[in-house]
Amino acid sequence: MDQNALKQMVGQEAVKYVEDGMIVGLGSGSTVQYMVDALGKRVQEEQMDIVCVATSNKTEDQARALGMTVKSIDEVDQIDLTIDGADEISKDFNGIKGGGAAHLWEKIVAINSRRNMWIVDESKMVDQLGAFPLPLEVIPFGSSHVFEKLEQLGFHPEFRMRDGKHVLTDSKNYLIDLHLGKIDHPETLAKQLDSMVGVVEHGLFLGIVDLVIVGTQHGVKTVK
């Protein structure tokens, strides 16, 4: 099975956890795209009554196109279950997210969810976080100074660019990816980044996930 088949497999597995009447958080990325397809199919076939909260404009468009009800996070009190992808998950179930530029909205939805599920193919399970560049969402104003500070700290920052232009998040902010190689102390790093003026949010998701579904060559594995 190739990586896309694994992503599809976990996407289909994840929607089995959705129950009628739930408020469901929808993550972002290619794995989530498969999950939203599967959820749209279930909702239609079983006439389910669910409300979705999306973590990106792209996911919202997909869910609406499939006929699902989408509300903004500010229109709901709490989300029952959020299903999202991840870029890396360590053995202690911390994660890096934001490869798809959506980690700010993803984190807001995650912390307002009763339960969080991540769905990944097996390549995302790692011993230690950090091989995947850690995304930061930064305010454009003063971002070159934030960049300099990150450089001085030895974090090897790189603005995320496409066709010579800054990639913009759905909140119209810039992204800086930190090429750290490995992250020995995620909690310490998270605190340091939390305290930097101009950094809106980093992609370290620590102690957030309740359930991880991994797609392997031997089938689906639930590892938390």
Member of 8, 12, 24, 28 binding ligand 5RP (CB under 6 A): 28
For ligand 5RP, give the closer residue by CB, 5 or 49. 5
User: Is 31 a known ligand-binding residue?
Assistant: yes
57-65 and 30-46 are packed helices; what angle lies between their axes, rounded to 10 degrees? 30
User: Is 85 a known ligand-binding residue?
Assistant: yes
Sign for the pseudo-dihedral over CA of 62, 173, 116, 12? positive
Q: Does 29 bind ligand 5RP (CB under 6 A)?
A: yes
Structure tokens at 29: 């990325």
Q: Does 89 bind ligand 5RP (CB under 6 A)?
A: no
CA–CA gap between residue 181 and residue 125 (Å, rounded): 15
Q: Collect all residues with Cβ–Cβ distance below 8 Å to 92 and sequence separation of at least 6.
A: none
For ligand 5RP, give the closer residue by CB, 27 or 186. 27
Binding segment (CB under 6 A) for ligand 5RP, from list 21-29, 36-44, 155-163, 210-218: 21-29
Q: Does 27 bind ligand 5RP (CB under 6 A)?
A: yes
Q: Collect all residues with Cβ–Cβ distance below 8 Å to 212 and sequence separation of at least 6.
A: 89, 93, 117, 118, 119, 120, 222, 223, 224
Q: Does 3 bind ligand 5RP (CB under 6 A)?
A: no
Member of 25, 100, 186, 198 binding ligand 5RP (CB under 6 A): 100
Binding mask 57-86 for ligand 5RP (x = CB under 6 A): ---------------------------xxx
CA–CA gap between residue 41 and residue 214 (Å, rounded): 22
Member of 58, 103, 160, 202 binding ligand 5RP (CB under 6 A): 103
**8 Å CB contact between 61 and 52:** no
Residues that bind ligand 5RP (CB under 6 A): 27-31, 84-87, 97-103, 106
